[in-house]
A = this chain, B = another copy of it.
Amino acid sequence: MPALKKKLEDRAAVIKALGHPSRLLIAEALMKGEMCVCDLKDLVGADMSTVSKHLTLMREAGVLNCEKRGLNIYYSLACDCLGDFLRCVDRLACGGKKTTCC
């Protein structure tokens, strides 16, 4: 109900939509252009239904768009700002884990 909470949850949903190895792989692949579900299935190497659910989640979070043409459904990134996004993630991931606290 509180607007602030809803806003936080919407944004968390966007982030969550990218916070999974398969979905990250999908997002990176789509930076080079749209792809249909069966191609993404080959890329990810999981059951098509699994990939479809990942894609639905990403679309509902607002990260992906889709368009049907012929027999296939083509998915594409909803925003090209993801490049900077992933660069930032890379920088953080490279930092190496600090497993012990202060």
CB-CB under 8 A for A95 and B78, given A21-B5, A24-B15: yes
Say how many copies of this protein the assembly contains: 2
Q: Mark A83-97, 1 if CB is under 8 A from B, else 0.
A: 011111111111111
A81-B16 Cα distance, complex, nearest whole Å: 18
Interface size of A in residues (CB-CB distance below 8 Å): 51
**A3 CB to nearest B CB, Å:** 13
Q: Is the interface of A mostly helix, strand, loop or mixed?
A: helix
List residues of chain A with CB under 8 Å of any chain B CB. Answer: 5, 7-16, 18-21, 23-25, 56, 59-63, 65-68, 73, 78-79, 81-82, 84-99, 101-102
Please indicate the chain B residues that have their CB under 8 angstroms from the CB of A65 in the complex: 98
Closest 10 CB pairs of A and B: A15-B19, A16-B19, A81-B88, A68-B102, A8-B21, A62-B95, A19-B19, A10-B93, A62-B92, A11-B93
